Amino acid sequence: MAGCLIGQPAFSESFNNPVIPGYAPDPSIVRVGDDYYLTNSTFEYFPGLPIYHSRDLVNWELIGHALHRESQIDLDTADSSGGVHAPTIRYHDGTFYVVVTNIVHNKPVNLIVTAEDPRGPWSEPYILDDAPGIDPSLLFDDDGRVWYTGNWHPPDPEFEGQAEIWLQELDLETMQLTGDKHYLWRGCCQGAHAEGPHLYKKDGYYYLMLAEGGTGFEHAVAIAISESPTGPYLNNPRNPILTHRHLSYDHPITGVGHADLTDTPDGRWFAVTLGWRLIDSAHGILGRETFLAPVTWETEPYEWKAERYTFPVVAPATGRIELTNELPMEDTRQALDTRFIDEFDDGDLGGEWNMRRTHDEQFHSLDANRGFLRLNAGPGFIGPQSRYSFLGIRQRDFQYMAETRMQFDTASDDEAGLVLMQNDRSVVAFTVRDGVLRLRRLLNGQWSDLSSATVTGQTIDLQVCADYLSAEFLYRLPGGDWKSLVAGVDLTSLSPAMIDGFNYTGVYIGLYATGNGEAGAYADFDYLRYEPTAANRNDWYFR
């Protein structure tokens, strides 16, 4: 079976955060009847914008991608952490809409794709003219009008990084913005990286929610209220409504923000938000993940006010994202199982697989050698804005085992194997070339050798056993036992804290082949298996 999750899940009376572990930032959610759909940023990875489905808010199934054809998106030369930023998913009158920013040559391009079925197919993109900034969102108002919100950097900033939220009407007939632009709000922190806006309408009022403070320790969520979509917006005096900026750097969940709200059929509310799980208070190797929190609405108690407003309160019991929460729905259990195996017996790759960037020509095949994934060793190799033969899955656990079997001429001057990849500047490569199995590290443009061994033959098994920021790399030749190439390998080089530039993604575990500048032959992979190895999923929280 391609890309299936295996094994028996463990059940609990409560649910644990994150609800989508591993690289799953900037969550946006929409409810359609009893069904919930969620998407995340994917930056330079393709297919882009995963579509997850749930009926209980804690168990999420990947059902497709909104960007699933190369014709939909230009990622050919996307920078690491460039590409597709901060989508919003909404539903109106039988159609799903995803609006998103694509960073092309350091400039934002805002676009919309639509589908009648969230599983796809999704439309070709509608490119929006004169839509500056990033992080677009849509509100389908009850009077038939559609409002687009985004951010931009005003021409008169008071400090570097100041941003502002703006609004304009969207014409669904032309799929273009129309009418005047309205500049709404710079947030409760004077616009310090104001972004991620979402506009809601509840009980006759408009609520503008945004993220600010950047996506690190100072991240926060704020909200304002207005009687009109075009403003003026009044600041909630209790802002921010969600942040961990006041907690210790040692707190196991940090950087929470970029939230989206949804209600349930019985009138309750919840927020999805991104957050970091940091190892040793610094190393977020999994990237930003998706967390869930309950929301209540409270009206200001002040008798002396002429008009008392109602605002959302996120995580009302504690005011922060918690590890363990009460299950949102009765008669449900959280059944998170991150185990994965693909034996490449089906005709298509499973949805968990991603490549880096879009490619003019297909570099992989499931037909050339049935039961194997073939990667062509093309001229491309790991490097900035480069396209190369790589397919990977998200690392979703701090402790795991990953294993593959590769058929490859070990004496070839091509190179192939198993890699751990944060981005083009941060890789640990476990590969074979010229009869030598090498473990090498790439960090900020510099390769370094960690260990090596001479190997022969046409088949080799490769395995990595990772324990937070340390790993052992093992190999096995046909008829032999597992041998440790090297243990205790430091993986902090995969941490965003160690890498130059923007680092918005998480680690991928992937298969790789290259001719290192020349078109080479190929490598065939029999399977990829991934299993978490922690005795308790929550060990990271108490570590």
Predicted local distance difference test score (pLDDT) of residue 222: 98
Please list the residue range(s) of the chain that carry CATH number 2.60.120.200: 340-542
**Residue 191 banded pLDDT, cuts 50, 70, 90:** confident
For residues 126 and 137, what is the distance between their CA atoms, to the nearest angstrom? 14
**What are the DSSP E strand ranges found in 396-469?**
399-407, 415-423, 426-433, 436-443, 446-454, 459-467
Whether the pLDDT of residue 328 is over 70: the answer is yes
More confident residue, 204 or 306: 204
pLDDT value at position 8? 39
**Quick one: pLDDT at residue 9?**
47
Separation between Cα atoms, residue 236 and residue 240, nearest integer Å: 8
Query: What is the structure's pLDDT at 6?
Result: 35
Q: Among 279, 228, 223, 224, which Cα is nearest to 254's?
A: 279
pLDDT reading at 5 higher than 80: no
Residues pairing with 400 in the sheet: 466, 532
DSSP single-letter state for residue 317: T
Question: 420: which 2 tokens?
Answer: 């751990």
The C-alpha atoms of residue 91 and residue 114 are separated, in whole angstroms, by: 9
pLDDT in tens, 104-152: 988 999 999 999 999 999 999 999 999 999 999 999 999 999 999 999 9
Asked if 80 contacts 425 with a C-beta cutoff of 8 angstroms, the reply is yes
Query: How far is the C-alpha of 334 from the C-alpha of 326, rounded, in Å?
Result: 11
**Res. 306: pLDDT tops 70:** yes
Q: Is there a contact between 517 and 381 (Cβ–Cβ < 8 Å)?
A: yes
Residue 446 is predicted with a pLDDT of 96
Architecture of the domain spanning 28-241: 5 Propeller (2.115)
What digits encode the pLDDT tens for the residues 244-282?
999 999 999 999 999 999 999 999 999 999 999 999 999
Point out which residues pair with 338 in neighbouring strands: none
What integer pLDDT is reported at residue 13 of this predicted model? 80
Encoded amino acid at 385, one letter:
Q
Cα dist from 308 to 301, 304, 326, 434, whole Å = 7, 9, 30, 74
Banded model confidence at residue 347, pLDDT cuts 50, 70, 90: confident
Q: In this structure, are residues 218 and 208 in contact, taking their beta carbons and an 8 Å threshold? A: no
436 close to 454: Cβ distance less than 8 angstroms: yes
CATH 2.115.10.20 in the chain is located at 28-241
> H or E segment at 541?
helix 539-542
- In 3D, which of 282, 332, 328 has the Cα closest to residue 496? 282
pLDDT digits (tens, 9 = 90+) for 199-213: 999 999 999 999 999
Structure tokens at 25: 């930032």
Place of tokens 């929550």: 538
Helix (H, G, I), strand (E, B) or coil at 296: strand
The set of catalytic residues is 26, 195
* Cα dihedral 288→486→426→26 (10° resolution): -10
CB atoms within 10 A of CB 412: 18
Positive/negative CA dihedral, 170, 174, 175, 176: negative
Contact 268, 328 (CB under 8 A): yes
What are the angstrom distances between the C-alpha of 224 and each of 208, 231, 255, 259?
A: 5, 10, 21, 14
Report whether 419 contacts 390 (CB < 8 A): yes
Q: Is 92 a residue whose pLDDT tops 70?
A: yes
Say if residues 61 and 52 touch (Cβ distance below 8 Å): yes
Query: Are 241 and 230 in contact, with CB atoms under 8 Å apart?
Result: no
Residue 170 has pLDDT above 60, yes or no: yes
Fold of 340-542: Jelly Rolls (2.60.120)
Average pLDDT, the chain: 95
SS3 of 78, please?
coil
3-state helix, strand, coil in the chain (%, to 5): 0, 50, 50
- Specify burial of residue 307 (Cβ count, 10 A radius: 0-12, 13-18, 19+): exposed
**What does 453-486 look like in DSSP terms, one character per residue?**
EE--SSEEEEEEEEETTEEEEEEE-TTS--EEEE
> How far is it, in rounded angstroms, from Cα 540 to Cα 543?
5
> What share of the chain has pLDDT > 70, as a percent?
98
| Cis peptide preceding 384, ω within 30 of 0 | no
Task: Please enumerate in sequence order all residues whose Cβ is within 8 A of that of 104, keeping only pairs 6 or more positions apart, or say none.
Answer: 74, 78
In this prediction, residue 12 carries a pLDDT of 60
How many CB atoms are located within 10 Å of the residue 377 CB?
Answer: 26
**pTM summary value:** 0.96
